[in-house]
C-alpha cells in the first residue's frame, strides 16, 4: 500500500485510514490500496473500520483521471463500483467514519457500510454530480435506493449536499457524534459487532443486501462503457 492508505489490525479490528494529505481523491491507485487493505482485514477475520483524515472523508473520484481519456475513466469508475459491491458482500462487519466532507464516491463508500458514523462540524455530504454536469451512474442509484430514505433518494437529482445532522435524517449516516466522542463510540461499536455470532451475521447481511447487490452488479455490466460520475 502507498502512503495514502494505512491499515492497522488490533484486537480483531482492522483500522483502514485514507489520508493522502489532501482530499482523499479516489484514484484507481487508492482504490487498489483499499482493496489490499480489505484483503488483510478479511484474512484476519476482523471487523473493519474505514475512515478519512480530519476534515475530509473523501472528495470522490479523482477528476484528473477523467482527463487522461475514456479508458482511464472507465477503469476508475468500474473499480469504484466493484469496491462498493465488495463492501456490501464483505464477510465481516464494516464501519465507516465520516471525518468531514464526503462527496459522491465518498458518499458511496459510506452507503456500502453496515454502520456509518459522522462527526459534527461544517461538513457537506451527498451526491452532487448533476451540479457539475454529470449523470449519477446506475450503480450509485441502486445503492442510494437501498440505503437512503425516500426523502434522501428524491434529493439526488437536485445535487443537494447536506450537513451531518441532515445527512443522518436522510440515511447517509447512522450516528453523528462530537469529535471528542468519536473514537470511543466507534471502538465500542466495533467491539460490540465483533462479539456477534459471525456466521449468523454474515448470512443475515447477505439476505439484507442480496437484491441491491444483484442490481449493482447488473448496473456495472450495463454501464461499464459510460463513466458518468466523479
Rounded average pLDDT over 85-106: 97
The whole-number average pLDDT for the span 139-148 is 97
Pair type for strands 161-162 and 125-126: antiparallel
- Measured in whole angstroms, the distance separating CA 113 from the mean position of its chain's CA atoms is 6
Residue carrying C-alpha cell 483502514: 16
In a 10 Å sphere around its CB, with 0-12 CB exposed, 13-18 middle and 19+ buried, how is residue 21 labelled? exposed
Beta bridge partners of 10: 13
8 A C-beta contact, residue 223 and residue 138: yes
Tens-place pLDDT, residues 163-183: 999 999 999 999 999 999 999
Q: Write out pLDDT tens, residues 70-79.
A: 888 889 999 9
- Predicted model pTM: 0.93
Summarize pLDDT for 15-47 with one digit per residue, the tens. 999 999 999 999 999 999 999 999 999 999 999
Tracing cell 437501498 back to the chain, one arrives at: 146
Contact 41, 19 (CB under 8 A): no
Backbone angles phi, psi at 29, to 5 degrees: -65, -45
Are 212 and 146 contacting, i.e. CB atoms less than 8 angstroms apart? yes
The whole-number average pLDDT for the span 156-162 is 97
Q: What are phi and psi of 99, to 5 degrees?
A: -90, 10
192-214 burial by CB neighbour count: b if 16+ within 10 A, else e? ebbeeeeeeebeebeeebeebbe
Q: Which domains does the chain have, with CATH numbers?
A: 5-180+194-222 (3.90.226.10)
Strand ordering across the sheet containing 55-58? 55-58, 100-102, 125-126, 161-162
Closest listed residue to residue 142, CA positions, set 65, 39, 217, 44 = 217
Q: What pLDDT shows up at residue 70?
A: 83
Amino acid at each position: 500500500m502507498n502512503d495514502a492508505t494505512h491499515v492497522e489490525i488490533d484486537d480483531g479490528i482492522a483500522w483502514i485510514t485514507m489520508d493522502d494529505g489532501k482530499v482523499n481523491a479516489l484514484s484507481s491507485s487508492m482504490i487498489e490500496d483499499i482493496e489490499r487493505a480489505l484483503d488483510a482485514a478479511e484474512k484476519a477475520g476482523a471487523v473493519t473500520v474505514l475512515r478519512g483524515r480530519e476534515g475530509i472523508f473523501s472528495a470522490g473520484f479523482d477528476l484528473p483521471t477523467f482527463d487522461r481519456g475514456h479508458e482511464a475513466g472507465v477503469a476508475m469508475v468500474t473499480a469504484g463500483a466493484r469496491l462498493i459491491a465488495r463492501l456490501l458482500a464483505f464477510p465481516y462487519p464494516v464501519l465507516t467514519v465520516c471525518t468531514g466532507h464526503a462527496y459522491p464516491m465518498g458518499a458511496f463508500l459510506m452507503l456500502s457500510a453496515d454502520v456509518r458514523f459522522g462527526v459534527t462540524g461544517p461538513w457537506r455530504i451527498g451526491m452532487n454530480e448533476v451540479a457539475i454536469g454529470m449523470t449519477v451512474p446506475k450503480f450509485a442509484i441502486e445503492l442510494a435506493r437501498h440505503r437512503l430514505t425516500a426523502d434522501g433518494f428524491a434529493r439526488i437529482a437536485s445535487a443537494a449536499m447536506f450537513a451531518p445532522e441532515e445527512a443522518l435524517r436522510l440515511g447517509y449516516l447512522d450516528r453523528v457524534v462530537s469529535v471528542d466522542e468519536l473514537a470511543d463510540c466507534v471502538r465500542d461499536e466495533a467491539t460490540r459487532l465483533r462479539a456477534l455470532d459471525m456466521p449468523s451475521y454474515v448470512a443475515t447481511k447477505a439476505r439484507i443486501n442480496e437484491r441491491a447487490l444483484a442490481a449493482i452488479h447488473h448496473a456495472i455490466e450495463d454501464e461499464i462503457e459510460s463513466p458518468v460520475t466523479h
